[in-house]
């Protein structure tokens, strides 16, 4: 038990970031899946359009919540929204670009609608992991010894 306490104290900030990111992510994922599944299955939009619209809407929510709750950005630099957008675009392209052919290979004998729904779920899972590390290490990174993420360098 003592080892667990030591581990927690040593990594408390990271653990809290993961928990907060998870809380934001659960809401974002539920909202995103409803939008994506609705557009794909009910409105009959294609794979890329339904997932793209869903991720654009979710990204706006994610930027707002993660900058305040997860990474506690106090002072935003002018490049923060651009780094966030670039991270989202790259994570989306890689995650969903990899998920579709992987699922197509694994479920080749299944109907396209099943393959694409499974690919969207796999794409979401890949995106979540990549997005956390992209936001932590690139978007809201701590720089120049500042205590808060995203802070602009001192002049």
Quick one: CA torsion of 133, 64, 8, 125, rounded to 10 degrees? Answer: -40
Report residue 141: phi and psi, to 5°.
-65, 150
Residue-wise pLDDT tens digits, 59-91: 888 888 988 888 888 877 889 999 999 999 999
Decide: 78 and 85 in contact? Cβ < 8 Å.
no
Rounded to two decimals, what is the model's pTM?
Answer: 0.76
Tokens found for residue 128: 């979540």
Can you give the pLDDT at residue 111? 96
Q: Is 105 exposed, middle or buried (0-12, 13-18, 19+ CB in 10 A)?
A: exposed
């Amino acid at each position: 038990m003592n080892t667990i306490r030591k581990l927690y104290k040593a990594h408390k900030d990271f653990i809290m970031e993961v928990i907060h990111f998870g809380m934001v992510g659960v809401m974002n994922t539920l909202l995103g899946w409803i939008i994506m599944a609705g557009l794909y299955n009910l409105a009959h939009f294609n794979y890329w359009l339904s997932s793209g619209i869903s991720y654009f809407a979710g990204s706006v929510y994610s930027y707002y919540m993660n900058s305040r709750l997860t990474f506690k950005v106090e002072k935003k630099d002018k490049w923060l929204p651009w780094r966030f957008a670039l991270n989202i675009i790259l994570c989306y392209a890689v995650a969903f670009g990899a998920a579709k052919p992987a699922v197509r290979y694994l479920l080749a004998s299944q109907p396209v609608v099943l393959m694409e729904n499974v690919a969207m779920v796999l794409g979401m899972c890949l995106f979540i992991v990549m997005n956390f590390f992209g936001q932590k290490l690139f978007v809201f990174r701590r720089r120049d010894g500042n205590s808060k993420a995203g802070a602009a360098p001192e002049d």
